[in-house]
Amino acid sequence: MGIHAPGKDAARLTFFALHALQHRGQEAAGIATSDHGIVNIHKGQGLVSSVFNEANLSTLTGDFAIGHTRYSTTGGPGLRNAQPQVIETLDGPLGLAHNGNLINAPQLRRELLERGTGLQTSSDTEIMVHMLAGTGGDWLTRIKVLMSRAEGAFALTILTRDAVYGVRDPWGFRPLVIGEIDGGHVLASETCAFSTIGARLVREVEPGEIVKLSADGVRVEQGAVPKKRAFCTFEQIYFSRPDSVHGGNLVHSTRQRLGRELARESPVEADLVVPVPDSGTPHAVGFAQESGIPYTEGLIKNRYVGRTFIEPTQRLREAGVAMKFNPLGDNLFGKRVVMVDDSIVRGTTSGPLVAMMREAGATEVHVRVACPAITDPCYMGVDMASPDELIAGHRTVEEIRRHIGADSLAFLSIDALMRALETDEGYCNACFTGDYPFESERFVQLRLSPKEQFARVWGD
């Protein structure tokens, strides 16, 4: 999130917007503001509501602000890696909030260390902060140099003395949008943040663009030559909030289309369509509409337990599932159920849910998944780092069906996925296909474990 809101409480607007973006990360949250060149920052571990209060928000004065909610991809979940990261430079303060993951972070890290730049964290965000600080020229020039060196996913908001910049990588992996608010402008990962603070969507930041928000208004420059567009399909399937808009389409509507495609492709005889709430709900509605099978709730989700997928360890994820769902026995008893989920990543949730439904009296449980089987890790900002963790990485569909105890199991095909997205290009599908949008040398490197990558760079 980034904002220039002249005469307004930029930090408070950022605080509300971060609430809307809470689903993107629950490990830490932070806001940095610039008040005539004095930077104020507050960040902490946990949810936005627990990190901020009236007392600390009131210290965050200034018309310019950037904010972040974190879940870790590169670097651990601790406070050290919380964002925004802010340093002092010869040209004034510099703050940065990053959504994504740099695939060449080990090389960039080594270059900085060789130049004598000390690093305090294990995150790729700190690398970018120091690359910006250590390059000559104005901020626009420095950002362009950074864009020419960084590879991978980076949607950034950058805070300086008198401006906020938004940057989107040349592939456009992660979303970034520009909005207008009462004489000011906003940048955010998703449009749902705009709705919360009364901002109006202007447009997406295009791949390779730099947007500058300042007293002169909005200035947009092409900071890097766009590559073949590779917007993350998983944002549409799972990650983004359903009330956000991507590519002109409401995410909720896209997810209903995914469910309809799934029903056409993998029909099943059943009495009820039941979603895995909340993320599987629109897909299940679409499945029910297309199949004509009645839709009902069969699982109640405890809304006070966070998203299991983005918890940082497997142990926390497993504990999360048991705390998170309870079955609705009256709805399920004696029924043949189609359980519709948006995706199966590690398979941590599906098996216990199928068992829960059977214990509640369902006579059959058929699982339908509104995206293709995830066979390959993501290196572009979604935490699927280890191939061993992916249930479809080393099992056939039949083996997964047995593993989760379902009567039948089907995943959406890539073709159907693309039909639902109403396009056949412009998306990254690497976690379903293993076809990464990078050159072969980089791809070889991606296949190495982080330890092997570091060994390559450090030569031992």
Q: Which residues bind to ligand SF4, rule: CB under 6 A?
A: 173, 232-234, 378, 380, 382, 428-431
Residue keyed to tokens 């050290």: 80
User: Closest Cα to residue 31, out of 86, 84, 87?
Assistant: 84
Kindly provide the b/e burial profile for residues 182-220, where b requires at least 16 CB atoms within 10 angstroms of the residue's own CB.
eebbbbbbbbbbbbbbebebeebbebbbbbbbbeeebee
User: Which CB sits closer to ligand SF4, 112 or 385?
Assistant: 385
Distance CA 160, CA 429 (A): 35
Distance CA 180, CA 4 (A): 10
Element spanning 440, H or E: helix 440-446
For ligand SF4, give the closer residue by CB, 233 or 453.
233
Give the alpha-carbon dihedral of 197, 30, 130, 94, to 10 degrees.
60
Least Å distance between CB 89 and ligand SF4?
A: 31
List all residues 6 or more positions away from 113 whose beta carbon is below 8 Å from its beta carbon: 119
Nearer to ligand SF4, 14 or 254 (CB): 254
186/428 with CB nearer ligand SF4: 428
Cβ distance to ligand SF4 smaller for residue 237 or 338: 237
Main-chain phi, psi angles of 338, to 5 degrees: -100, 115
User: Could you give the angle at the alpha carbon of 100 between the alpha carbons of 98 and 104, nearest 5°?
Assistant: 105
Provide the minimum distance between the beta carbon of 125 and ligand SF4 in the complex, in angstroms, as a whole number: 18
The answer to whether the bond into 84 is cis (omega within 30° of 0) is: yes
In the complex, what is the shortest distance from the CB of residue 342 to ligand SF4, in angstroms, rounded to a whole number? 13
Nearer to ligand SF4, 230 or 362 (CB): 230
Query: What is the smallest separation between the CB atom of 434 and ligand SF4, expressed in angstroms?
Result: 9
Nearer to ligand SF4, 256 or 429 (CB): 429
Q: How many CB atoms lie within 10 A of CB 88?
A: 10
Tokens at 260, concatenated = 């309809």
Min. distance of Cβ 378 from ligand SF4 in angstroms?
A: 3
Prior bond of 278 cis (ω within 30°)? yes
Taking phi first (over 0 means left), then psi (-120 to 50 degrees means alpha), and beta for anything else, what does residue 418 get? Answer: alpha
Closest to 365 measured CA to CA, from 326, 408, 403: 408
Contact 369, 413 (CB under 8 A): no
Q: How far is the CB of 153 from ligand SF4 (least distance, A)?
A: 7
Q: How far apart are the first and last CA of the chain?
A: 39
C-beta of 173 vs 309, nearer to ligand SF4: 173
For the bound state, the minimum distance from the C-beta of residue 172 to ligand SF4, rounded and expressed in Å, comes to 10
C-beta of 75: minimal distance to ligand SF4 in Å? Answer: 18
- Minimum distance, C-beta of residue 433 to ligand SF4, in the bound complex (Å): 9
The widest CA-to-CA distance across the chain, in whole angstroms, is: 71
CA angle 167, 139, 76 (to 5 degrees): 55
Closer CB to ligand SF4, 20 or 380, in the complex: 380
Least Å from the CB of residue 196 to ligand SF4: 25
Looking at the Cβ atoms of 211 and 378, the one nearer to ligand SF4 is 378
